[in-house]
Amino acid sequence: MTKQRRYFGTDGIRGRVGDGVVTPDFVLKLGWAVGRVLANGKNSRVIIGKDTRISGYMFESALQAGLSAAGVDIYLLGPMPTPAVAYLTRTFHAQAGIVISASHNPYHDNGIKFFSAQGTKLPDDIELEIEAMLEQPLKTVESIRLGKAHRIGDAAGRYIEFCKSTIPSGVDLAKLKIVVDCANGATYHVAPDVFRELGAEVVVMGAEPDGLNINQNCGSTEPRLLQQAVLKNNADLGIALDGDGDRIIMVDHRGEIVDGDELLFIIARARQRSGDTQTNIVGTQMSNLGLEHALAEYDMSLHRAKVGDRYVMEMLQQVGGQIGGEASGHIICLDKTSTGDGIVAALQVLAEIQQTGNSLHALRSVVTKYPQHLINVRVEKMVDIDGNPDIADAVADVEKQLGSDGRVLLRPSGTEPVIRVMVEGRDAPLTKQLAHQLADVIEKVLKA
């Protein structure tokens, strides 16, 4: 039986600044514990990057102190996208990479994410080792062995060149006008230059971070202003990144949102068109049935992982796949990099636009998305919904009415006391009706 993790969630440690473990004293101890577990003695080094939250300064200093106390050298990147930290951890041959970020959350949250020496998320056993070390008293190494801090001045340039290398050298974006929303986050000084240097005309928004405005009415979770900007500027498309740059949502020339499911299809189809024979594509339980059917039309299979990029990565490794992602825009291209990367994913789509001569709208139109209706049923305590016969009968009844053109998903939330009831089908009114019908049964069972 796997031991329960006390501090780590599905993507590191995250919470409101000053609450729980998201405090300077805990983060200092965390830095020391990571140094003790991951460092291999002499010449150990750890890369640290962060997004643009005001609390990043505080946690950067705390991590630096803890790692130094463990005898580990620190290489500071300053504000850099999460996938850039993964890439630079590999190229600097560091023992680990650390990102100070709460991704798409508001500024008052923050968190710590980790990468292994290979630029991948830490395995469970290493996280458990770190948690065990946190229970030990902090002991500082002797002064001669204290870690030193270094700042990498050309980190942005290194990452920009890497991003550009992920598409064929002949791809020229000179005919494209693009609006890029950097979410006032970690990509503000990187993403615009990537697209400009590849020839695109770039209109920039969300690139004036002040420590408090990250993800505020902008970025991949709030693309409304990007939609307006694409139409106002008569642009070919828009790109919305999130606060730490590992998610992407796009907007076509008509101002319509193109989500992660549609982007995943475009990239998978691009790989197939270029001669790649890999047919295993990974989505999640929430991936739209329309994506599954569109992939099947081209003899590709959708494998569904649990929600979370960590589980998408696990499934990719299990099925030997290269391309995976979530509807939220976390796209993983393992043939290009080791983790989800919003800029790299965008470039794959732009390359397909340039090479096929099709617009983003035309490429996404191959996927006919099915209506999904989601209801959150609040619970006082978690119950075994899988083992309840009344719920099982209700699910079977809904599935019978939907037939092969729909599906049902019941999923306890990992972040709040709710059970998520999702019904998907071709007929929007029927889908909504069946979702409420199923939610009512679940509520009655919970009350009983």
Residues classed as catalytic: 103
Q: Tokens 């594509």 map to which residue?
A: 281
CA-to-CA distance for 152 and 88, rounded, in angstroms? Answer: 10
Q: CA end-to-end span of the chain, whole Å?
A: 31
Q: Which residues contact 264 (CB under 8 A, 6 or more apart)?
A: 281, 283, 287, 291, 323, 324, 325, 331
CA-to-CA distance for 237 and 259, rounded, in angstroms? Answer: 13
Q: Which residues contact 287 (CB under 8 A, 6 or more apart)?
A: 261, 264, 302, 304, 326, 327
CA-to-CA distance for 407 and 429, rounded, in angstroms? Answer: 15
Determine the distance from the C-alpha atom of residue 388 to the mean position of all C-alpha atoms in its chain, rounded to a whole number: 33
CA-to-CA distance for 210 and 185, rounded, in angstroms? Answer: 9
| Tokens at 442, concatenated | 């679940």
Q: What Rg do the C-alpha atoms of the chain give, in angstroms?
A: 23
Q: Tokens 């007929």 map to which residue?
A: 427
Q: How many CB atoms lie within 10 A of CB 35?
A: 27
CA-to-CA distance for 118 and 444, rounded, in angstroms? Answer: 49
